Amino acid sequence: MGAGAGSEPRRRTASDQVHAVLLEAAQSVLDREGLANVTVRAVAREAGVAPMGVYNRFGNKEGLLLALAVRALDDLAGAVAVDGSLDAEERFRQGCVAYRDFALAHPQRYALIFGGGGPVAQTGSGASVYGHAAFEVLIELVEGLLDRESLKRYAGSAEAAQLVWTAIHGAVHLELGGIGQVSGPHDIYERLIDLLVRGLR
C-alpha cells in the first residue's frame, strides 16, 4: 500500500541481509539442537560473526527468540493458507492437514511457538500479534464451513476457530510428544478433521 504502481520494490540493504543471515543461522541451530541450545553464542558461531553482532541486532536472547517465533508463525500462516479455488470443506480439511504437516516437518519451531512458556505466551508481544495473523487464516477457513445458522452457536467465527485450533494443536502436541493410546496418528488426525467438520456445523 502507498507505493505507486511504477515504483521499484524497496532494495534490501546490507543491514537487512545481515539480519536475515543471523535469523537463518538461529533457525538452523533451533532445528538441529532444540530451543534450549539457541544461545547468542551458538547463533553467532553458526553465522560466523562475533556475539556482539547478534546482540546489536536482537538486543538479547529473548529478542532473538521472538524474531524466530514471528518468522515461524509467518511460515505457519503461509502453509495453512491453502488454494482458494477449492470448495469450503476441502479447503478446511487441507488447511488442517497443512497445520500438522508444518508441525511434523518443523517440530522445534512448533515447540517454540506453541510449546508454552515461550515468547508467544507473552500477551501483547510482537509474536502474539503475528500469531493473530496466522489465526486469521484459520478463521477464514472456518467461516467458509459455517452458515449463518451454525455460526449462531459461537460468540463469533474467532471462537469457532479457537475450538479448531485447540483440537488440532492437541493432536499435534500429543503426536510430537510420542504420547497416544491409539496407534496411527495419521488416521487419528483424519478422523479428528471429520469430527470437527460434523461438530462445527
Q: Which is nearer to its own copies, 56 or 177 (CB)?
A: 177
Q: Which is nearer to its own copies, 16 or 156 (CB)?
A: 156
Q: Which of 141, 115, 121 is nearest to 35 (CA)?
A: 115
Determine, following the binding rule CB under 8 A, whether residue 62 of this chain makes contact with its own copies. no
137 phi and psi angles, rounded to 5 deg: -60, -40
In whole angstroms, what is the distance from residue 78 CA to residue 101 CA?
Answer: 12
Site for its own copies in 87-116 (CB under 8 A): 114-116
Q: Which is nearer to its own copies, 44 or 112 (CB)?
A: 112
Q: Which is nearer to its own copies, 30 or 43 (CB)?
A: 30
**Which range in 9-17, 51-59, 98-106, 117-125 contacts its own copies by CB under 8 A?**
117-125
Mask 160-189, x = binds its own copies (CB under 8 A)?
Answer: -xxx-xxxxxxx-xx-xxxxxxx----xx-
Mask 128-147, x = binds its own copies (CB under 8 A)?
Answer: ---xx--x------------
- Least distance CB 24 / its own copies (angstroms): 25
Angle (CA) 106-109-111 rounded to 5° is 110
In whole angstroms, what is the distance from residue 167 CA to residue 101 CA?
Answer: 15
In whole angstroms, what is the distance from residue 86 CA to residue 71 CA?
Answer: 27
By CB under 8 A, how many residues form the interface with its own copies? Answer: 45
CA 122, distance to chain mean position in Å, is 16
Long-range contacts of 111-114, Cβ-Cβ distance < 8 Å, separation of 24 or more: 111/34, 111/35, 111/176, 112/30, 112/35, 112/65, 112/68, 112/69, 112/72, 113/69, 113/72, 113/73, 113/76, 114/169, 114/173
**Which range in 8-16, 43-51, 76-84, 157-165 contacts its own copies by CB under 8 A?**
157-165
- Least distance CB 9 / its own copies (angstroms): 31
Which parts of this chain interact with its own copies (CB under 8 A)?
A: 114-117, 120-121, 123, 131-132, 135, 153-155, 158-159, 161-163, 165-171, 173-174, 176-182, 187-188, 191-192, 194-200
